[in-house]
Copies of this chain bind each other. A is one copy, B any other.
């Protein structure tokens, strides 16, 4: 039982209405040169037959589809959802519809070759433009309307929207320093992502500026997920000389610290201070101090930028950077050396 590809086509409509396909196509696209009467008749037939045009056929022939694509390796993590919320809002305000493409798993995504395939799959094909979150490669980006999100382009060749990762991490670290913390553990992000690299760089720089020696033992390799964050936290907190504070490269990792702390009967912030990055909704409930990077805003701005690109407008700036803001909640406490030695 192979499902027939298209039940009712424009041909059927034309035949039923007793006109040519050209005429039907014309009413479909709201062209003016068709008599009111025939137009009415054709529209009636369209309704009767329940006809709807094929996206595939249409987009192969015509230019604009009022459809943009959003490509994400995975849509089930909070960051992705925040981006989607912002994009969703921009879509709602626009004439465009949205197509979110995903393979459901970063691991299925993988290579740059794969990514290129996906991009070409949608673009030049059915969508008018593309939004790409944290792309792996960038060499293939043609002159097609593409805006990348959360990715600082090394070669500033194509438009991108991202936040001040370095400065944000700086703020977080300086805050911890100001509270008196000297041994600060770090849970890194996914190493191949520029956001992660920037935050780590800030960690090194700020500590170096403060005259604190770099301690390899305080660096744990995370991947932006909670389970790994948990593992990293366990490792850090189990150190002979554990840190008094942990800076996690994102909130999801920080949530892993909460899990580990609870399991080890450590209180936050009394026994261990935690700072995250992102300010996902969960952070508010967890009372987690974090760096807000306005993810949804990034998505919104990226979508708006894409619309302008599609409409042929020129952008004054290719790279748009959104500021970050330290959100102080209750997950940090001043570090008192005497208390530490007493306990």
Contacts and interface: CB of A to CB of B under 8 A. Distances in A.
Interface string A168-180: 0000000000000
A318 interface: no
Interface in A229-269: none
A197 interface: no
A76 interface: yes
Interface stretch (A47-55, A151-159, A334-342): A47-55
Interface in A131-151: 140, 142-145
A333 interface: no
Nearest to A9: B124
Nearest to A4: B124
A206 interface: no
Nearest to A120: B52
Contact of A74 (B88, B103, B124): B88
Given A81-B81, A121-B52, A126-B56, A98 B88 contact: no
A59 B281 CA distance: 39
19 contacts: A1-B312, A5-B124, A6-B125, A52-B116, A54-B60, A54-B120, A55-B121, A56-B125, A60-B60, A75-B98, A75-B100, A76-B88, A76-B89, A88-B102, A91-B103, A91-B104, A99-B101, A100-B100, A285-B286
Which 9 pairs from chain A and chain B are nearest by CB?
A92-B104, A285-B285, A91-B104, A52-B120, A92-B105, A100-B100, A76-B88, A56-B60, A55-B125
